[in-house]
Amino acid sequence: MEEARIQTPLGIAVIRGNQDGVSAISVEDGTLKQERIPETLQVPCAQLKAYFEGELTQFDFPMQPEGTPFQKRVWQALEAIPYGQTVSYQELTLRLGDPKAIRAVAAANGKNPLWIVVPCHRVIGSDGSMTGYAGGIHRKKWLLNHESPTPQHSLFG
């Protein structure tokens, strides 16, 4: 397993994977002095940078996330949420065919190992609220604003 670290507007992205695909992408607070990108992770890193520069809306590098079959079903449903759009947890649960599984769907969403690439940030509360996000609500707001066709200017830094 190899690891790359790149600077993003939201902190340091840590990308883990090998020649078979990326297994994890996470974010850490801080600033890098020097990026480190192994050969096998060049494409995912380039695509993440293009996303943050507003030049990429869909990722197409190989992915190998580890999870239960249920978690993988939820993550596939997340990948189907179009760039610039959001769905509620309830709507996501209905798409998966079991309206009573909302807590399990929310838990699987929270276990998403592929930050940004599997867009769990596009899931919001039924009332439009910014519900929990493992990367922090400030990052979720930034990502949704970044993907919005009509970005909102924040009154609060």
Catalytic residues: 120
C-alpha dihedral over 31, 35, 38, 39, to 10 degrees?
130
Count of Cβ atoms closer than 10 Å to residue 152 Cβ: 9
**Distance (Å) of CA 72 to CA 2, 44, 92, 112, 128:** 22, 20, 14, 9, 25
Backbone angles phi, psi at 63, to 5 degrees: -125, 145
Helix H or strand E encompassing 137: helix 137-147
Grouping H, G, I as helix, E, B as strand and the rest as coil, residue 63 is: strand
Q: What does the alpha-carbon distance between residue 27 and residue 154 come to, in Å, rounded to a whole number?
A: 23
